[in-house]
Amino acid sequence: MKNVLVISVHPDDETLGAGGTLLKHKDLGDKIFWLNVTGIHEEQGFTKGDINYRNTILDKVAKAYEFDDVIDLNLPTMTLDTYPQKELVEKISNVIKTIKPSILYIPFKDDVHTDHQVVFKACWSASKSFRYPFIKRVLMMETISETDFAVPTQSSWFIPNVFVDITDYMDKKIEIIKIYEKELGMHPFPRNVDNIKALATYRGSMCNARYAESFMLLKEVI
C-alpha cells in the first residue's frame, strides 16, 4: 500500500490530470490524498452563493474518489504570484510531512496559468529528497486547457514518458468531471467531455490502451 498525494492548483485539475490514475490507485489498495491550493473569496467579488457552491462541489468530488483525506488551502485564486513563495512552500511542506506520500502528482511546470507555475515551483521545492526521503516518485500532470497552451518550444513542451492505462476508469472519470459542470463548455472550448475523451484516446494510442493518462516523470527512487 502506498500513500499517493495529488496537488491541484484549482479544483478540477486533479480530475483532468490524474482522475483515472487516482481511481486506479484506490482500486489497488493505495491511500489517496488531495491537496487543493486555491479558493474563491468575497473580497475578490465572489458571492456567498458562489463560495457555498464551490464547497459543495469539492465535497461531492471528494466522496466520488473516496479520498482518505482532503486538504484545502483556500488561497485566493489568480493571485498566487503575489503570495510569498516561502509561505506557500511551508504550507505544502506541512501537508507532505503529515501525509508522507511515496507518490506525488503535481502541475506541469509550464502550464500557461501563472497560479500553476507558482505551485509547481513550490511543490518542487517541497519535495527535496534529503528532507522527505519517503517520496519515491514525482510526476507532472497534463491538465487540458493549461498544459496544451504552454509556449510551444522544446524546453517548455509537455513530453510524456509515463502512461497509465485508465480504460476501466474512464467512465468514472467522466462522471466526476461532470460534477464540475460550470467549468465545462462546448467544443472548441478545451475543457469539454469530448476533448477529455479525445486526449485519453490519443494517449492510449501511445501505450496500447483504449484510454490513458500521461505524465512527465521528474524523479524516481528505486
Separation CA 31–CA 4 (nearest Å): 6
CATH architecture of 3-220: 3-Layer(aba) Sandwich (3.40)
The domains of the chain are located at: 3-220
DSSP string for 30-92? -EEEEEEEEE--GGGT--HHHHHHHHHHHHHHHHHHT-SEEEEEEEETT-GGGS-HHHHHHHH
The series of mean pLDDT values per 10 residues for the chain, 222 residues long, is 97 98 98 97 93 96 98 95 95 98 97 96 95 97 93 90 98 98 91 96 98 98 94
| pLDDT recorded at residue 124 | 97
